[in-house]
Structures are given as structure tokens and as C-alpha cells.
Amino acid sequence: MAEMNNPLELYKLLNKSNCKKCMLPSCMAFSVAVIQGRKNIDDCPDLDAQTVEALNGQVVKRKNFEDEQLENLNRLKQEIAKVDFVSVAGKLGAAVHKGRLAINCLGKDFVIDASGGMTSECHNNLWVHFPLLNYIIHGKGRELSGEWVPFNELKGAIDWSRFFSRRCEEDLKQLADAHTELFFEILHLFGAQPVAGMDADHSLVIYPLPKVPFMINYWEPEQGFESKLNVLFDRVTTDNITIESIYSLGRGFVEMFRALIVKHNRDGKLF
């Protein structure tokens, strides 16, 4: 049986209805996600069991960003054992309790133990776990400058800028376009605060980590003009966390918003 590692090959076998039942905007997006390892074949409800079984044996998934993050996460867990939580807590804006480090993320405490394990009252996932460990190990605890810049002006962003624009800002804009009221309700739920003096229709600052703020600006569509969304960062952000972790937090926002919108939207649909 021939291997399948091209999204177009898989796309040809789908019904091309763009039904969005897989929580992606199109069948082409689903095909790409399967090859990248972000979706499984059986996430398409319109494929019968026999086809799913056959395709599972053909599809060759590429090593994706999540796989690489998981490898890096395991490496960071080993490094955490060398960190003195008491000595780093102050500069990180964190607190130590019973030998564990508590860091506020989106208004909720996430607790890291000496082995790098993470617990919280929220759903734990790789998109949060990896940046948290990175923040503890590599963060310099620099005080924020108050100067806001786009992602591509951060140190080390050159190799990540295109991914952040497409996989974070563009995906967040799609969600804001489709569910504007709910989108901003969720932001406020996680502690986002309005920013005065910006020309956007909505400008809010949210803190994924104590010294890593995101400013989200959104312009609603007007006659003759499309909507627009961008994310700005404090100039010193990359002194407090790596550029890869900033991208991870951005993707985490996208995944979190998708899940919450499906859960709280009246019809239970993403688009």
C-alpha cells in the first residue's frame, strides 16, 4: 500500500463539503492537519470505518511542532531539578509553597514541582506547560519597559514571524470575526484589561505569565474594510522567555479559544 505524505492526496479522498465538523475551516485545512499530526483521520465524521482503517495505514505523519515541544518539555523537566525555586520566585513574580513554585497564568495559579510536573485548576496542556518551564529556567525577570512592539520586532523572531502571523494572529482573527462578543467575554474572563489610547475597536492586555503580557488589538470590519487583529509585546519580553515559548503561548490561546467557543456557543459550532 502506497504511503501518503502529501495533503493534496488526502484532500482528493474527502467529500470537500467544508462542513467544519472537525473544528477546522475547510477540508483542505483538515488534510494539512492530518499530515502534520494535529488531527487524526477519524476526526472527519464523513469517512466510513473501512476508509479510515485503510488511510491510517497509508498516512505518514510529519514530525510536528507539538512532537518537538514534547521532546523539549522532557529536557526542561530535567533542568528544573537544578533550579532553586526560592531564589527565582521574586524575579518571576511567583510564590513558593511547600517546595513548589506557583505562577499565575491567565488569572489562575499553575504549580510546578521539583520534577517539572504541573498542576492547576484549569486543563493542563503542552502549550502552557512548555512555556512555564522555559519561563522558570531562562527568564531574567526583567521589568517591563512599557514599549509595545509587534512580534517581528522581538529579538530572535525572524524564523518565527511567519508562523506567528499565520497560526496565531490570523487564527485568532477568524475566531474574533465569527464570535466577536464571546471572544472578548472569554478574554475578560481570563483577566484581560482594556487599554486606553489605542485606535483599535478593542484593545486589551492579558498576562499569560507575570512578566509576559500580550496586547490584543482588534478592528471590526467596516464597509470596504476587512477586520484586523494584531498582538503586541513589551520590548523586553524575550529577556523573560524564549521566542519559541511566545509562539507556543499564542498557539495555546488559539486552542483554548476554540475549545471554549465550541463549549459555550449556542449551536456548539466553531464556524
Alpha helices in 141-216 (DSSP H): 161-164, 170-178, 180-189
pLDDT tens digit sequence for 55-100? 877 877 665 556 677 788 888 999 998 999 999 999 999 999 999 9
Per-domain residue ranges of the chain: 7-56, 65-138, 148-264
**Identity of residue 11:** Y
* Residue whose grid cell is 483599535: 200
> In this predicted structure, what is the pLDDT of residue 127?
78
Query: Which range (96-100, 101-105, 128-132) has the least confidence?
Result: 128-132
At 43 the three-state DSSP class reads helix
DSSP state of 201: S
Whether residue 160 contacts residue 243, with contact meaning beta carbons closer than 8 Å, is answered with yes
The yes-or-no verdict on residue 243 having pLDDT over 70 is yes
C-alpha 230/C-alpha 157 separation (Å) is: 15
CATH of region 7-56: 1.10.15.40
At 134 the three-state DSSP class reads helix
Whether residue 212 contacts residue 142, with contact meaning beta carbons closer than 8 Å, is answered with no
Give this prediction's pTM.
Answer: 0.74
Query: Which range (34-48, 52-66, 129-143, 173-187) has the least confidence?
Result: 52-66
pLDDT tens digit sequence for 170-205? 999 999 999 999 999 999 998 999 999 899 999 999
pLDDT tens digit sequence for 60-69? 766 555 667 7
